[in-house]
Structure 1
Amino acid sequence: MHAVTLTGHLDEPLSRWLWLLKWLLAIPHFLVLVVLDIAFFFGTVVAGFAILFTGRYPRGLFDFNVGVIRWNWRVAFYTHSALATDRYPPFALRRTDYPADFDVVDTERLSRGLVLVKWWLLAIPHYLVLAVLAGGWLGGPLAVGYAAQGDDGRVTIAPVLAFVVFFAAVALLFTGTYPRGLFDFAMGINRWQYRVWVYAALMCDEYPPFRLDQGGDEPTTSTGVRDVAVPRP
């Protein structure tokens, strides 16, 4: 079981048209997240130095940064990354009963050496894949889907996730039903990128797998029982 737990449950029935307004309704969250994400960045820098000298991620910073990612995931689940619930996200860092949730096992010790390379060098292969799956820009043959070339010569990629969510929204508008296959695929992309986010933010040493673990819940073991790691006290 991966150290990162990302879940999302399709919260049906969904409004056929509310997704057209969710971007506007979520503006208060976007404004708050700008501030929180800046704090997250500086907290990660501080944590990086702490890991380098002590091998530990300060618990207070860890809990705060997990909360920031959790808040980002709820808003993304409500808006651009899934559109899978009409329930308005709570303004909270803590875990709630919202249909989208996120958590990370706080390991007791982290590698001092990896803190210098995992957020850029080791994560580069994932960044390249996620640029196509979840967003970003690359030139040449890696541009998939709809690509528009700007005046500066860069190719802006419309990521696969954007197409998946768009087609789900169109299906919802005309049929009132969110296609389950599209939801599971979107969850796989989201799960991949949030695992990489945690790794790049120095919160775990477990290298993210190159796979789409689809579905609303984390994958189970061969016995069907989740292998849940126990956080440190």
Structure 2
Amino acid sequence: MEPENTAKAASPVNPVRVRGDLDPAISRWMWLVKWILAIPHAIILIFLYIAYVIVSVIAFFAILITGQYPRGLFDFNVGVMRWGWRVGFYAYSVLGTDKYPPFSLQSDPDYPADLEIDYPEQLSRGLVLVKWWLLAIPHYLILGAIFSAGVGGGDNGWGGFTLANVLLLVAVVALLFTAVYPKGLFDFLLGVHRWSIRVGAYASLMRDEYPPFRLDQGAREPEVTE
């Protein structure tokens, strides 16, 4: 009789994978000017996101009729999400690296931040009608509380700072005075943005798998076992 295998089998890899590696030699002060350095990216991204919306509308009708997301349009929108994530990781959402992001839609394994979304061979024609608004509402409410709702807003508040803003500010002030980016805050911010990107991919019709209500913290995707 063969010995019983007690090891847990690895589950399928998440179709939406977000990576963000913290720069171990990150500067104390560069976060003060990165948003200025990233202005060329911001200008390009404005036009890319306009194209992203147009492509998503075209993909909506293509999926509704054929059940498939045209591969070229899919790769383009993944590239836009990837570009936006790298710029955010560098300049304003995590501030986890001093390495300037490339002007590219393509995956770059040498850059500290990257994302991949597996192409679906077939998508549900019915789900395309409801997943981007109705089914995603619970995620919108939770993420909205993190990214949109002001902390202590109003006349006596903090000027509409969001929870994500406050946590990032604490992290970079600690970096300024200690030269160390607090790992707990970094992992949490990565988890929040990973969650947001998964929901964005779902709402943009790229996958049918419902995003998990889970804060997968840390630089790399967790190893999920079953």
- Report deviation, 1:3: 1.2
Question: What is the TM-score of this pair, normalised by structure 1?
Answer: 0.87
**1:149-192 Cα distance to aligned partner (Å, 9 max, x none):** 69xxxxx8532221111111001100111011110000010000
Q: How many residues align?
A: 212
**5+ long unaligned stretches in structure 1:** 138-142, 151-155, 224-233
**1:43-87 Cα distance to aligned partner (Å, 9 max, x none):** 000001000000000000000000000000000000211100000
Inter-partner Cα distance in structure 2 for 1:6 and 1:200: 16
The letter of the residue matching 2:137 is I
* 1:66 alignment counterpart: 78
Tell me, yes or no, if structure 1 residue 19 matches structure 2 residue 31.
yes
* 2:127 alignment counterpart: 114
* 1:214 alignment counterpart: 217
Inter-partner Cα distance in structure 2 for 1:18 and 1:166: 14
Q: 1:132 aligns with which of 133, 145, 168?
A: 145
Inter-partner Cα distance in structure 1 for 2:212 and 2:205: 16
* 2:190 alignment counterpart: 187
* 1:153 alignment counterpart: none
The letter of the residue matching 1:188 is G
Tell me, yes or no, if structure 1 residue 38 matches structure 2 residue 41.
no
Inter-partner Cα distance in structure 1 for 2:188 and 2:199: 17
Say whether the 8 Å CA contact 1:7–1:218 is kept in structure 2.
yes
Q: 1:3 aligns with which of 3, 15, 18?
A: 15
- Report deviation, 1:147: 1.7
**1:107-164 Cα distance to aligned partner (Å, 9 max, x none):** 100000010111111111111100112x224xxxxx6x332369xxxxx853222111
Inter-partner Cα distance in structure 2 for 1:199 and 1:49: 16
The letter of the residue matching 1:107 is P
- Report deviation, 1:2: 2.2
Q: Larger Cα Rg: Structure 1 or Structure 2?
A: 2
Q: Does the residue aligned with 1:68 lie in a helix, a strand or coil?
A: helix
Q: Does the residue aligned with 1:102 lie in a helix, a strand or coil?
A: strand
* 1:171 alignment counterpart: 174
Inter-partner Cα distance in structure 2 for 1:2 and 1:221: 9
* 1:146 alignment counterpart: 152
% identical aligned pairs: 56
